[in-house]
Every structure is written in C-alpha cells, then in structure tokens.
Copies of this chain bind each other. A is one copy, B any other.
Amino acid sequence: MEAETIELLDSTLRDGAQAEGITFSVEDKIKILLALDQLGIPCVEAGNPTSNPKDLEFFQRARALQLQQTKLVAFGSTRRRNCRVEEDSFVSDLLLAGTPAVSIFGKSWDFHVTDIIQTTLEENLAMIEDTIRYVKEQGRDVIFDAEHFFDGYKNNAEYAMASLEAAYKGGARVLALCDTNGGTMPFEIRAIVGAVCERYPDATIGIHCHDDCGMAVANSIEAVKAGARHVQGTFLGFGERCGNANLCTVLANLQIKMEMPCIPEGKLEELTQTARYLAEVANIALTEKEPYVGRSTFSHKGGMHIDGVNKNPKSFEHISPERVGNSRRFLMSEVAGRSYMVKKLQRYAPSLSKDSAETKRIMERMKELEHEGYQFEGAESSFEMIIRKEMGKYRPFFEIEDFKVIGEQAKRDGEFSAYALVKINVDGQVKTTAAEGDGPVNALDKALRQSLEVFFPAIGQIHLTDYKVRVLDTKATASKVRVLIETTDGREKWSTVGVSKDIIQASLIALVDSIEVKLLKDIESHIGLSKP
C-alpha cells in the first residue's frame, strides 16, 4: 500500500508577515518563494495583490518565475455582504494575481458573523458559496479557509458545518479548518476533525493552527491522525501573536515519525539549510532549540548523555541529525562536533585526514573565529578562504595600506555625504583612490573596487547582491556586528562574512574576501586548477 501524501501549504508570506517585527521586501518574498519551491513545498500562499503596492509587484514578478514544484496561492476574503460577487472589487482584484490557486476565507463562527462582520447568518453562507463558485468558474483551484472553525463548532456545530457545506457546494477542493485564535486543545481538534472527515469523505480536509497554547504542531499532527490531508503553517512558525504551526517541524514529524511523505524524495536533508536560509532572509534569529533544525537540537552537554551517544547515538537522539541535514554537537568535549567539521573540511580539501596537523590547526582557528562571533552558515566562501590561509595556499592579491572614511553633514539642514579614500598595494605598485557613496560602507566599496579594477579588470564583472548586518550583543552602539555579503559575477554567487565592533571594518573584511574569491575563481578556471 502506498503511503498517503500530505499536501503542505506554507503561509510565511501571508500569515507570517503578520508577525511582530517581520517586514518582507518584494525581493525577500521572491527569495522565500524560490527556497520553498526548491524544497518542494506544494503550495505557497501570499497576500492579496491589492492590499498594498508591494504585494502587487510581488505577484507580477512571481508570474515570471519558472516554479518547479510549488503552486502559488493568492489569499483573500469572501465577497462583501449584500453585493454581487461579480461586482466585488476585492474578489476581482484577487483574481488579478493570476495564481493557479486561491484561498478564500470565510466565517464559520456565528458570533463573528453577527457581531464582527455584522450580517445575517444566511447572507454569510451565501457569501461563502457565491465567492467560491465564482473563483472556481474562473478556473482556479479553491481552498476554503474556515476561519475560527473550532471556536465556531464548539459554540454552534450546526452553523460551523453549514459554512463548510456552502464551500463544498461552491466547489472548494480543500476545506481547511482554522483554529484562528489558537485556543483549541489537541483532543478537541482530534474529535472535531474526525467528525468533519466523516461528513466529507470526498473532500480534502485541511488544518490551520496557531500556537497560542504552544500546541500548534501537535494539533496539526492530531488533525492528520484524524483524517486531514492538507496542512497549513509557516516554515519557521512565525505569524500573528504566538505564531502559526511551524511547518518545518510538522513536515519532519509527518515524514519521519508517521511515514507520510510531504516533500520529494531526498529533500528532507535540505530542511536545516532551508530553515536557516529563511531565517536569514527574514532577518530573525532562528531559535537555537528549534526542533530538528536548531543549533542546539542535537547538542549534548550532560556527561552521561555524551557517553551514551558515543556508545550508540539512538540512546539520546530520537533520529539521526543527518536525516534533516543537521549535525550533532558535544558541548563539553574537546572533540566538539569534530568528525562533522572534518567532513566539512574534506569537502574543500579532500587530501586532509582526520588527524593531520593542518586539520587540527584549521579547527582551532574556526573555534576562535566562532568565539569572536563568526558564523559560516551562509558564508561558505569565507570558510573556504580560511582553509586556504591555514593550508598556506593563499597569497594576497593586494594589500590595503591605508583607508579613511568620512561622513558629514556639511551645513545645517544640508545633505549627508560620505567619502572614502583607499590606498592599495599590488606587487609594489601603489594606488590611491577616493569615492563618494551612500554612506561610508558604500563609499568604501566603490573606492576599493575602482582602485582594484585598474589591476584586475575582472572586478568590473562583480557586484553585490545582498548586504546584511546583525548586531551580536547588546552593548548598544558599541556592539559587535556581523556583516554578511553576497556577491555575483553574473554566473555564480558567493557569500562572505566579517565581524568587528565597527561596521565599516566588518564590511571591509567581507568585501575583501568577496573580491579575492572572484580573483581565485578566475585563476582556477583559466589554468584548470582544482580547489585547494
């Protein structure tokens, strides 16, 4: 018998954007969409194209993408009360997004109908049925989000079921039951989802949970256990208030613990990397103890636990960390994560053995840098540069002899201006250049590249595609910062990192690495050199 597949819908771009502290640019949204497509999440829900201009631009750009595995879903409400659906601009705007699927949310809790949107119970049912039928007739796959379904069911089960019936008659493929306020217990979810599944054996029943009681993941799992086959959440669990069901955790639980496939074969190993990438894009710190993908998730600190894991990992690990692309760490041991590190080193330098002096030296250096605040997730090129340096396979292309940045606001109410001056030395030839920029870091970047381009014309091909700053501690303006830079030469992309108490110095470290990576790449491809 083939295992039953669960359809996942990620709402990071819609419900996730409701989280405090989260603001996505259009560029962020595109990156998230592509990462979820790459992982194989079948449905990705975004907002309403007309709710603001950024969403409109997002849908326009998304239409031009060649998504491989993901179907984009626009999200909007039923038509307004007392109007014809064909004439409702909310609904027609929603169709403008041009997505193959559309989520329509409607009210299932009688109290919300009468007290919040203030219409009659009959009109609300008509709003649901009309809207879904109309959107379906436009050739879209329709998901009905039954808002507050569980609160509604507990208050008036008959009416909550009637709202589903309206959606079903209208032609919705999925009836998604939402625990909008997040207050429902797992045993209630189980009973109510079970009752719905019994009533609609032909429909796909969905579940959408919030984490206000800390049980959104478990509630999603219990719903599947009761017959749901479509699960909504946000990849890192963020969303309004306490957030949504963490889809990354749900996915791993379903696929590993319940053997119900959610993403394509072989993709589960990309889970950790995807979660960390999304956290970077959203500019939030991934919780260290995040199930499956966190940094502490497979960390062992207690002596007895470390001893047990050394005897047999299953003694204190419910799964092997490699299955989700994570890795084990021993916190008290000298050999912390050693074998993993060696594995990683060997990817760049296959000649290195586990016990060689070079390996030990590199490991020491890595530890030092991590202690200083470096982090090489998402900065593989800086990691590679360190290996080169420690292996003696590095000779600098250039040296920065001197630099100065100046920022000023020359007169009262005047414009702010920033300049940088850089003096470089290339094999004894010295050149000094100055540039003006948008702020001191930009000025420094320009000056450095202008001066180097004279010696290395290939530098003209590269430009930075991303620049991120993370403040590492809370000593206010004297905090350490980590700067992450992403560079492209049009063919490849690479990322580098710098850490300092000074944002300009941190940026310069990452900039220099990014330029040297380009120069090394070119030399290697010209003379057919392999990696270090």
Contacts and interface: CB of A to CB of B under 8 A. Distances in A.
Interface of A: 17-21, 23, 25, 27, 51-52, 111-112, 115-116, 180-183, 185-187, 211-215, 217-219, 221-222, 225, 237-238, 240-243, 246, 249, 252-253, 257-258, 283, 287-292, 294-302, 305, 307-308, 311-312, 314-319, 331, 333-335, 375, 377-378, 399-412, 416, 418, 437-442, 444-445, 463-474, 476-479, 481, 485, 500-505, 507
A212 B439 contact: no
Given A23-B375, A315-B115, A402-B410, A474 B481 contact: no
A238 B317 CA distance: 17
Nearest to A400: B409
Contacts of A218: 186, 214-215, 217-219, 222
Contacts of A479: 467
- In the A-B complex, the 10 residue pairs with the smallest Cβ-Cβ separation, listed nearest first, are A183-B318, A218-B218, A464-B476, A439-B502, A214-B249, A438-B501, A214-B291, A214-B217, A215-B218, A442-B477
Nearest to A222: B186
Given A215-B221, A290-B242, A291-B213, A504 B296 contact: no
Nearest to A188: B257
A311 B112 CA distance: 10
A291 B439 contact: no
Contact of A335 (B51, B315, B439, B440): B51
A407 B408 contact: no
A324 to B, nearest CB: 11
Contacts of A409: 400, 402-403, 505
A230 to B, nearest CB: 19
Q: How many copies of this chain? A: 2
Nearest to A416: B505
A50 to B, nearest CB: 13
Contacts of A182: 318
Contacts of A257: 183, 185, 213
Given A185-B253, A411-B402, A474-B25, A212 B335 contact: no
A211 B507 CA distance: 35
Contact of A27 (B411, B474, B485): B474
30 contacts: A19-B301, A20-B288, A51-B335, A112-B315, A116-B308, A181-B314, A181-B318, A186-B221, A212-B297, A212-B318, A213-B253, A213-B318, A215-B217, A215-B253, A217-B218, A240-B301, A240-B302, A242-B294, A242-B297, A404-B406, A416-B504, A416-B505, A418-B504, A439-B478, A439-B500, A439-B504, A444-B477, A464-B476, A465-B474, A469-B469
A411 B405 CA distance: 14
Contacts of A180: 316
A402 B410 CA distance: 6
Contacts of A312: 111, 115-116
Nearest to A375: B23
A465 B475 CA distance: 7
A189 B211 CA distance: 20
A181 B298 CA distance: 10
B441 A503 contact: yes
A222 B186 CA distance: 8
Given A21-B378, A311-B115, A242 B296 contact: yes
Contacts of A445: 476-477
A252 B501 CA distance: 41
Contacts of A111: 312, 314-315
B408 A27 contact: no
Contacts of A240: 299-302, 305
Nearest to A257: B185
Contacts of A404: 406-408
- Most chain B beta-carbon contacts within 10 A, residue among A17, A299, A409, A466: A409
Contacts of A442: 476-478, 501
A299 B403 contact: no
A440 B504 contact: yes
A401 B113 CA distance: 58
Contacts of A463: 476
A218 B214 CA distance: 7
A522 to B, nearest CB: 21
A199 to B, nearest CB: 22
